Amino acid sequence: MNTPSSYVIGVDYGTDSVRSVIINTADGYEVASSVFYYPRWKDGLYCNASDNLFRQHPLDYVEGLEYTITDCLQKAGASVAANIKGISVDTTGSTPVAVDATGTPLALLPGFEHNHNAMFVLWKDHISVKEAAELNAHATKFPVNYLQFVGGIYSSEWFWAKLLHVLREDEAVRKAAHSWVEHCDWIPFLLTGGNDAKAIKRGVCSAGHKSLWAAEFGGLPPDEFFASWDALLTGFTSKLFTETYTSAQAAGTLSKEWATRLGLSTDVVIGVGAFDCHMGAVGGQIEPYYLSKVMGTSTCDMLVAPKAEVKDTLVKGICGQVDGSIIPGMIGMEAGQSAFGDTYAWFKNLLAWPLQFLTDAQQKQEISDKIIIELSRQAAALPLQEDDELAIDWLNGRRTPDANQLLTASLTGLNLGTTAPHIFKAWVEATCFGAKAIADRFVSEGIPVKGLIGLGGVAKKSPYIMQTMADVMNMPIRIHKSEQTCAAGAAMFAATAAGIYSKVEDAMNAMGQGFDAEYHPNKANVALYAKRYEQYKALGKFIEGK
C-alpha cells in the first residue's frame, strides 16, 4: 500500500504582490503556484514617494492570502488539498502595524480605514529617519550597548523608529494602539484565529534583527531605555513580548474560520513567520560562510555560521546577527542594499517617460519591457575603462554597511559621448560595488565569505549583471534553480514545523532544487574593477562629507 504524498504551502509576501506555492515535501516539486498583486498598492494609495512614505493596507494582504491559496488548491486538486500538512509565511520587513487588544490592525476598524498611520509601514518607508538618528544617539548614554546585535546602527527601516514616528504623528492611532506587530508575525496569528495581541508568537527573526530583542539582554531592552528616549514609549515594552520562537516551530493550527475559507483541515500546522530573505536563504540552500544574496527590488545578504565558531565576534554596520534567525542552532547574519532592482527600474522608467505621452498603452508596455534587455546587451559590449562613468547606488539611502537612509545617489564622469548604455553600465557597477562593500565588511570584521549564492528575479534574469557581480567580487556566484526561493523556503519551514522533517537542514536537503548556473570572474576585468571600486569608495566618502 502506497503512503499518500504530503504537501505544504509556502506564502511569500513581497513588496508588490503575494505568492503562494504548494510543494511536495518528498522532493520539493512545485505542484501549483499563484500570485496576487496588491490592488490598493498598485493604485498608489497611502503612499507619497517624495516624502519616503510607503504604507500598505492589511486588506491587500488578507485578500491576497485567501486568493492565492485557494487558487493553488483549485489547480492542485482535491487529493492534494486533503494532504496539506502545513503553511508557513515570509514577508518583507521591517513592516509593522498598530493593532488593538484583539490583535486586529487598526486600518481594519471603523474610522481608521483610510488612515495611513493605521496601516502596515512598509520596509522601504524611510519617514522615520529623525527617530532613528535619535535612537542611535540615545543608545550611547547607556552602559549596555543595546545596538550591538544590529550592527551598532539603528535604521529608519526598522520597528522602533517607525513606532515612535507614528505615535508622535497621530494622536488617534496613539490612543487606539494596544501593540505593534510585524507583518510576518501577524499573518500566522491571523491564520490560527488569534484574538489576543498578547498571545501573538513573535519570531526570533523579526525580534532579533529589528526590535532589539536579545537573549543576552533577557529580552527587549528595559522600559527605562525607551521611556528616557521619549515619554510616549513609556510602558510600551509591556505591550509587546518576552518570548520568541524560531520558524521551525509551530504558531498553532489553522482556525475553523480560515479552514472553511480555504477549504483545508483544521489540523494544518501554521509555522512561525520570518522575513522573506531569511526564509529565501533556506529555499536557496544556504551554506555556512556563503553569502546568500536575494536580489529583487532591494537585496538581502544572508550568512550563517556555527555559533561555536562565531563566539563573541560582532560585525559592525550590518542589519544584525541573531541566533536561529535563519537556521536554528546557527548565527544568522543579515545585510543588504536598499535599492538594487529598484535602481534599474528607476532608470528604465526615466528613459520611458516620453512613452506615456507619445504612445498608446500597448506600445508603451511593449517598448518598456525591452528597455532593460537592450540596455544590458549594449552595456555588455562596451569596453571597460578605468575612467568610465561612475555612480553611487544610494537611490533609496544606504542599508549596509553602516545604515544611513539620508544618503543620496550620484552619477559622475558624464560627457557628450555618454549614452544610455554607458549610464546603465555605471548603475550596474555601482550596485555590484555596493555588494562588495558588504562582503568586505564581513571579512574585515572576522567573518570569512567563501562564495556567493544568487537568488531572486535579478539573479535569474540578468546574466550581464551577474557576470559583473562575479568580476567585481572576484569570486564565483552560483544561481539557484528555483524561481521562488522565498516561497520555497517558507514551504521547507512549514514541513519542519509540521513534523515531516526534524530539522530545517533535512527539509532543505530533501526539497532543495539545486543550482542551474554559475558565473566565474573574468580575470581580465578583475584588476580594473578593483581600481574602479576604490574610486567608488572615494566618491562615496565625498558624498558623506568624510
- Position 518 in a domain: no
Q: Which of 274, 296, 324 is the last residue before a domain boundary?
A: 274
The closest alpha carbon to 59, from 113, 9, 99, belongs to: 113
Q: Higher-confidence residue: 405 or 95?
A: 95
- Position 400 in a domain: yes
- The pLDDT tens digits of the residues spanning 33-64 come to 999 999 999 999 999 988 989 999 999 999 99
Range of the domain at 397: 341-436+525-544
- Position 506 in a domain: no
Asked if residue 158 and residue 41 are part of one domain, the reply reads yes
pLDDT of residue 490: 98
Asked if residue 26 and residue 107 are part of one domain, the reply reads yes
pLDDT of residue 1: 34
The closest alpha carbon to 127, from 361, 397, 318, belongs to: 397
Asked if residue 345 and residue 270 are part of one domain, the reply reads no
Radius of gyration of the chain (CA): 23
Residue 378 has pLDDT above 90, yes or no: yes
Residue 344 has pLDDT above 80, yes or no: yes
CB-based contacts of 412: which residues, under 8 Å, 6+ apart?
389, 390, 391, 539
The DSSP string of 382-443 is SPP-TTS-EEE--BTBB-SSS-BTT---EEE---TT--HHHHHHHHHHHHHHHHHHHHHHHH
- Position 444 in a domain: no
- The pLDDT tens digits of the residues spanning 261-280 come to 999 999 999 999 999 999 99
Asked if residue 353 and residue 256 are part of one domain, the reply reads no
* Mean per-residue pLDDT, 291-312: 93
Q: Which of 274, 289, 324 is the last residue before a domain boundary?
A: 274
Asked if residue 376 and residue 256 are part of one domain, the reply reads no
* Mean per-residue pLDDT, 336-359: 93
Among the residue ranges 153-157, 296-300, 373-377, the one predicted with the least confidence is: 296-300
Asked if residue 378 and residue 265 are part of one domain, the reply reads no
Residue 31 has pLDDT above 70, yes or no: yes
* Burial zone of 348 (CB within 10 Å; 0-12 exposed, 13-18 middle, 19+ buried): middle
Confidence bin at 457 (pLDDT 50/70/90): confident
Confidence bin at 133 (pLDDT 50/70/90): very high
Asked if residue 403 and residue 261 are part of one domain, the reply reads no
Residue 541 has a CB neighbour count (10 Å cut-off) of 10
d(CA 91, CA 10): 11
d(CA 275, CA 496): 17
pLDDT of residue 160: 98
Residue 296 has pLDDT above 90, yes or no: no
Q: Which of 224, 248, 274 is the last residue before a domain boundary?
A: 274
* Mean per-residue pLDDT, 125-152: 96
Q: Which three cell numbers stand for residue 514?
A: 539545486
- The pLDDT tens digits of the residues spanning 186-242 come to 999 999 999 999 999 999 999 999 999 999 999 999 999 999 999 999 999 999 999
Asked if residue 174 and residue 81 are part of one domain, the reply reads yes
Q: Encode 42-102 in three state secondary structure.
A: HCCCCEEHHHCEEEECHHHHHHHHHHHHHHHHHHHCHHHHCCEEEEEEEECCCCEEEECCC
pLDDT of residue 3: 58
Asked if residue 531 and residue 390 are part of one domain, the reply reads yes
Would you put residue 295 in left (φ > 0), alpha (ψ -120 to 50) or beta?
A: beta
Q: How many domains does the chain have?
A: 2
d(CA 161, CA 167): 10
Return the CATH number at 69: 3.30.420.40
Asked if residue 173 and residue 25 are part of one domain, the reply reads yes
Asked if residue 265 and residue 358 are part of one domain, the reply reads no
Asked if residue 383 and residue 234 are part of one domain, the reply reads no
- The pLDDT tens digits of the residues spanning 498-515 come to 999 999 999 999 999 999
d(CA 119, CA 373): 36
- Position 109 in a domain: yes
* Mean per-residue pLDDT, 392-421: 95
* Dihedral pair phi/psi, residue 83, rounded to 5°: -120, 25
* Mean per-residue pLDDT, 527-531: 98
- Position 165 in a domain: yes
- Position 441 in a domain: no
Residue 2 has pLDDT above 60, yes or no: no
The closest alpha carbon to 7, from 512, 248, 503, 21, belongs to: 21
Residue 519 has pLDDT above 60, yes or no: yes
Residue 74 has pLDDT above 80, yes or no: yes
- Position 154 in a domain: yes
